Amino acid sequence: MCGSERRLMGPLEILFLAIFLFFVFICLARGYPKELGITTVIFAALFLIMQFLTPYLPQALQWLADKLGLGVIDPRTMQHILALTFSLLFIGIIFAGYAGQTFTFPGNQRKGVEGLLLNILVGAVNGYLVAGSLWYFQDFYDYPVADFTNLGGTPYLLDLPLTATAQAITTFLPPALVPSLAWGALLILMLLLRVRR
């Protein structure tokens, strides 16, 4: 295993960049009025997860385990369950935002360079929010994906420790920067902008 000081970029940074660029390209194809609707959905998802589920889901899961006679959930198992649950829920909410009727902001899309820059900006924000939040769910729960190894102990998905670059990025992940109630305030702001004529 290479030390974190020897690796300039690891799998997390590559995945973060890939998801980030994916959302930029989506916004270039769909346009920022439609993608602002997805930004609103992302705010709603983060508000739900960070304000309501993160504080209370562990107790609810333990209560359920007690009722089923399963005993105390091992702390590492709980980390696996929570990281997976929040990641899948977050992805599911975003997927639902793209499926069906699109939540589009009113108005005509700007043309030319201004429109291009707005597309890139909104796509970059969405990419940062999605990639950064998925990374946060792993970071907050001590990287459960690193536990999946072959018989020789070599990790399938993530080889810890993180690179110095990844360690620096973790301090700038969206849920680490923004208080949980602020996601609700951002959601309300986007809804007000959406209904404004």
What are the tens digits of pLDDT across the range 9-52? 678 899 999 999 999 999 999 999 999 999 999 999 999 999 99
Query: Does residue 140 fall inside a structural domain?
Result: yes
Phi, then psi, of 155 in degrees rounded to 5: -65, 140
CA distances to 35, 64, 89, 101, 194 from 186, rounded to whole Å, are 15, 33, 20, 22, 12
Q: What is the pTM of this model?
A: 0.92
Classify residue 132: in a domain, yes or no: yes
- How many structural domains does the chain have? 1
In a domain, 6, yes or no: no
Residue 54, domain member (yes or no): yes
Angle at 155 between CA 136 and CA 84, to 5 degrees: 35
Show the beta-strand stretches assigned E in the chain: none
What per-residue confidence (pLDDT) applies to 156? 87
Question: Which residues 6+ apart lie within 8 Å of 109 measured at CB?
Answer: 31, 32, 33, 115, 118
Own/partner pairs, 44-47, CB within 8 angstroms, 24+ separation: 44/93, 44/187, 45/89, 45/90, 45/93, 45/94, 46/90, 46/129, 46/133, 46/174, 46/175, 46/178, 46/183, 47/180, 47/183, 47/184, 47/186, 47/187
Instruction: Work out the pLDDT band at 103, boundaries 50, 70, 90.
Output: confident
Tokens of 138: 């792993």
DSSP, collapsed to helix, strand or coil, labels residue 162 as: coil
- Structural domain for 61, as ranges: 11-195
**Residue 1 domain-assigned?**
no
Asked if the structure places residue 21 within a domain, the reply is yes
Q: Is residue 5 part of a domain?
A: no
For 149, the 3-state DSSP assignment is strand
For residue 162, tell me if it sits in a domain: yes
**What is the tally of helices (H) and strands (E) in the chain?**
8, 0
112-156 pLDDT per residue, tens: 999 999 999 999 999 999 999 999 999 999 999 999 999 888 888
What does the pLDDT look like over 177-194, one tens digit per residue? Answer: 999 999 999 999 999 988
